[in-house]
């Protein structure tokens, strides 16, 4: 049974994680959450990314949202920005692809070319 006390336990663990962070800078993952993104499945994509980042205990990964960028037909869109690298935008991501993006791109640093819409 979960309760609000669990949040305090998490607080302690998170503080520990923050202490062991290295100075490389943060990786940013952004999910498109306009109406078009939401209708295409962005909520479950964001949930899968957060879950995968938590499971793998990745420090220094920030998961955020963006609005509609006008590429509605390619939603859900996911941007990955590794420290010091170009932004990579993945198109038509689902929960399963989202987990693979975390594993292959964020952890193993290998861009999944077949799913990339743009690099900038």
Partner 1 sequence: MEELALYILDLVQNSIEAGADRVCVFLDQCAADGKIVIEVRDNGRGMDEAARAAAFDPFYTTRTTRRLGLGLALLRAAAEATRGWVELESQVGAGTRVKAVFDASHIDCPPLGDVPTTLAVILAANPDLELCYRHRFGDREFSFTSSELRARLGEVALNDPTVFQCLRELFAESLDNLHGGVNP
Instruction: With CB under 8 A as the rule, give the number of residues binding partner 1.
Output: 38
Residue 9 or 114 with smaller CB distance to partner 1? 9
Is residue 60 within the footprint of partner 1 (CB under 8 A)? no
Which range in 10-18, 19-27, 80-88, 110-118 contacts partner 1 by CB under 8 A? 10-18
Which range in 20-28, 37-45, 84-92, 110-118 contacts partner 1 by CB under 8 A? 37-45
Beta strands 27-32 and 61-66, pairing class: parallel
Is residue 120 within the footprint of partner 1 (CB under 8 A)? no
Q: CB count, 10 Å around CB of 82?
A: 19
- Is residue 46 a contact partner of residue 65, using CB atoms and an 8 Å limit? yes
Side-chain half-sphere CA neighbours of 63 within 13 A: 21
Is residue 10 within the footprint of partner 1 (CB under 8 A)? yes
Helices assigned H by DSSP within the chain? 4-20, 35-40, 42-55, 95-100
Angle at alpha carbon of residue 15, lines to 14 and 16, rounded to 5°: 90
Residues at the contact surface with partner 1, assessed by CB under 8 A: 1-4, 6-8, 10-11, 13-15, 31, 33-36, 38-39, 43-44, 46-47, 50-51, 53-54, 58, 61-65, 67-70, 72
């Amino acid at each position: 049974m979960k309760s609000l006390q669990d949040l305090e336990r998490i607080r302690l663990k998170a503080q520990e994680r923050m202490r062991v962070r290295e100075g490389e800078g943060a990786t940013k993952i952004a999910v498109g959450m306009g109406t078009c993104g939401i209708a295409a499945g962005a909520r479950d994509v964001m949930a899968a990314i957060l879950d995968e980042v938590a499971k793998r205990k990745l420090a220094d990964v920030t998961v955020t949202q963006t609005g509609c960028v006008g590429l509605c037909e390619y939603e859900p869109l996911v941007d990955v920005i590794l420290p010091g690298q170009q932004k990579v935008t993945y198109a038509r991501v689902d929960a399963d692809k989202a987990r693979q993006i975390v594993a292959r791109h964020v952890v193993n640093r290998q861009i999944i070319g077949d799913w990339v819409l743009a690099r900038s």
